[in-house]
Amino acid sequence: GTGRVLKIADFGHAKADTIRYALKSKLKMALKWCAPEVLEKGEFGVPSEIWSLGVTCWEILSCGEEPFQGIPKKEVKARVLGPERLHLEAKPGWSADTAELLRLAFVFSPASRGSAKDLIAVINRATATPSAKDKNKDRCPSKLTTDSQTDIKDLKDPNNLK
């Protein structure tokens, strides 16, 4: 229908009216959703929110699969900050637009990471064409499994997601 709105929401880390917020005490964190600058310096801001949004998009598009599945939390931090620069990528069969959204979200340097405006442009482009409703209707069954996949273009029609 008309009037659908995409809201880029605060993942609870960025603070209003600040460019950057530094964590002053040790808190329990969802490490697999944290941007490199958060893991390294405890600094939150819009770029770290974009990273977290990228992880959330990846989760939705993989029908609820856990990010970095099989990698212990402590190891995720070392691998994201290390030479490997661990990040999530589009799965085989996902669209070029989905890959672009994830590429923008997971740039290591916060200054070079995509903005909310960049991500919205990719989502608008991906959802501008009619969805393949019949083809994708069973991609995310009621019981989620790690082998079922969806794609960013499927988000246009919520009937495609069960």
- What is the average pLDDT across 104-121? 94
For the packed helices 46-61 and 96-105, what is the interaxial angle rounded to 10 degrees?
150
Contact status, residue 152 vs residue 98, Cβ threshold 8 Å = yes
Distance CA 110, CA 45 (A): 9
Nearest Cα residue to 33 out of 64, 10, 56, 60: 56
Confidence of residue 142 (pLDDT cuts 50, 70, 90): very low
What is the per-residue pLDDT across 24-77, written as a single tens digit (0 to 9) for each? 555 556 788 899 999 998 888 889 989 999 999 999 889 889 999 999 988 999
Which tokens in the block code for residue 2?
């008309």
pTM: 0.71
Contact status, residue 118 vs residue 104, Cβ threshold 8 Å = yes
| Count of helices and strands (H, E) across the chain | 6, 2
Confidence of residue 112 (pLDDT cuts 50, 70, 90): very high
The residues near 118 (Cβ < 8 Å, ≥ 6 apart) are 104
